[in-house]
Chains A and B, each alone.
Chain A
Amino acid sequence: EEQLVESGGGLVQPGGSLRLSCAASGFTFSQYWMGWVRQAPGKGLEWVGNIKQDGSRKVYVDSVKGRFTLSRDNAKNSMSLQMDSLRGEDTAVYYCARWITAPAHAMDVWGQGTTVTVSS
């Protein structure tokens, strides 16, 4: 079964840091773009960023550029999101997702999410 499991969420003070992880299983992780999507309480889904198969390309939504960093370890079938200088508006459930990119495009496998709360 193709599966993604997020971990690392928690409560952090404004200005603090947190590292989220996404563990993949059941598929060849190195063949896919991977990404993160978040959802603030009571709000819609927001695309956060994607990382290419070999990690050579990383893209982010403007609101997290310079504060969040994507990385992946294909040998360990895992992806991480390092979140620094956290703000209250970063409070959300963070979902890890797999992207299919050829010939069609979509996020086709989702994790259950991990909750990040930024508060003093």
Chain B
Amino acid sequence: QTVVTQEPSFSVSPGGTVILTCGLSSGSVSANNYPSWYQQTPGQPPRTLIDSSNTRSSGVPDRFSGSILGNKAALIITGAQADDDCDYYCVLYMGNDIWAFGGGTKLTVL
């Protein structure tokens, strides 16, 4: 069974750029996987960052962007800030109306 993969953790310095990826344990991510990205802070519901057309949700700063880089979907954060220190999840379309989350990436800004 194909699994959605994300880096378990990542670290970035304030003001730095980080690229979080979302892949498949078997095969490549393409636009047909409709990748989207979500941010979650402890005790809160997820917040939608970017949809599959790489459009930011209302209120999401433009330092967040989405893309497909190589064989993975990517969430790019440019100019990381302290309040970006939280968890990030991607979701991919797996076919037959089935979706799957990645395991999430815990981003540390320090």
Contacts and interface: CB of A to CB of B under 8 A. Distances in A.
Contacts of A29: none
A11 B69 CA distance: 44
Contacts of A44: 87, 89, 101-104
A110 B52 contact: no
Interface residues of A, number: 22
B98 A37 contact: no
A59 B97 contact: yes
Interface stretch (B20-28, B43-51, B71-79): B43-51
Interface residues of B, number: 27
A47 to B, nearest CB: 5
B99 A50 contact: yes
A110 B48 CA distance: 9
B36 A106 contact: yes
A111 B51 CA distance: 18
A44 B89 CA distance: 8
A105 B52 contact: yes
Contact of B57 (A45, A108, A112): A108
Interface of B: 34, 36, 38, 40, 45-48, 50-53, 55, 57, 87, 89, 91, 93, 96-104
Interface of A: 35, 37, 44-47, 50, 57, 59, 61, 95, 100, 103-108, 110-113
